[in-house]
Amino acid sequence: MSFTGSSVGSGGRRAAFEFGKTHVVRPKGSHQATIVWLHGLGDNGSSWSQLLETLPLPNIKWICPTAPTRPISLFGGFPSTAWFDVGDLSEDAPDDVEGLDAAAAHVANLLSTEPADIKLGLGGFSMGAATSLYSATCFIHGKYGNGNPYPANLSAVVGLSGWLPCSKTLKSKMGQEEAARRAASLPILLCHGKGDEVVPYKFGEKSSQALSSNGFQNSTFKSYDGLGHYTIPEEMEEVCGWLTSKLGLVG
């Protein structure tokens, strides 16, 4: 998943990519939680903000950023909006940790100005789900992949039609007592369609298994027969009920 010439800065370091427009959906009721929701490859924050605005969750403020436009190895270097680079969707493909760290830091920064009494969460679809799940592991460990401290205090994470990046190295980072305590208590919801032709169902299933086997005791995996790489009302109803319950939303 390495980047090619035009995206590499001096000294072999990757050039910084500029994030796109952020769309915010204000809560219609009392503000109790803020969730950053991340779109999939080639999409933008606007399309998801329009869907999230229709959900019966009046106490949630939604922040829907747009990923940078960057060359994508999967597309032969053709640029697309993406949270990180993807070489190919296989279990043995290397993870773009630098790109994941940059995306996770951008998300944490979006949450950094929220009031102290507001519960914070992450969610996303496809590559956005992968970024949210990666951010969850950063929260558990208390630091990004590069070792810098992770600042946000997460109360819930949702991943639709996605996968868990860096799953093979997750176990090696779970040694600390604090990490184990956070992993045991952080609510995570994974949803995946059995007919997904883009991110295969087994990716979601194995991601869920990786979380469970590493002490994420509060993770839930929901599967949907016949669902492809998109969302349906039934799935969003599941998300609404789960968020209301896990975040303790009232009113």
Query: Annotated active-site positions, please?
Result: 126, 196, 229
| Helices within 21-176 (DSSP H only) | 45-52, 97-111, 127-141
- In degrees and rounded to multiples of 5, residue 176 shows phi and psi of -75, 145
- Taking the C-alpha atoms of residue 218 and residue 237, their distance in angstroms, rounded to an integer, is 19
> Could you tell me which residues are beta bridge partners of residue 149?
143
Rounded Cα distance between 212 and 218, Å, is 8
Smallest Cα–Cα separation from 53: which of 63, 43, 39? 63
97-111 and 127-141 helices, crossing angle to 10°:
80
Residues of 207-241 as b/e, b for ≥16 C-beta within 10 angstroms? Answer: bbebbeebbbeebbbbebeebebebeeebbebbee
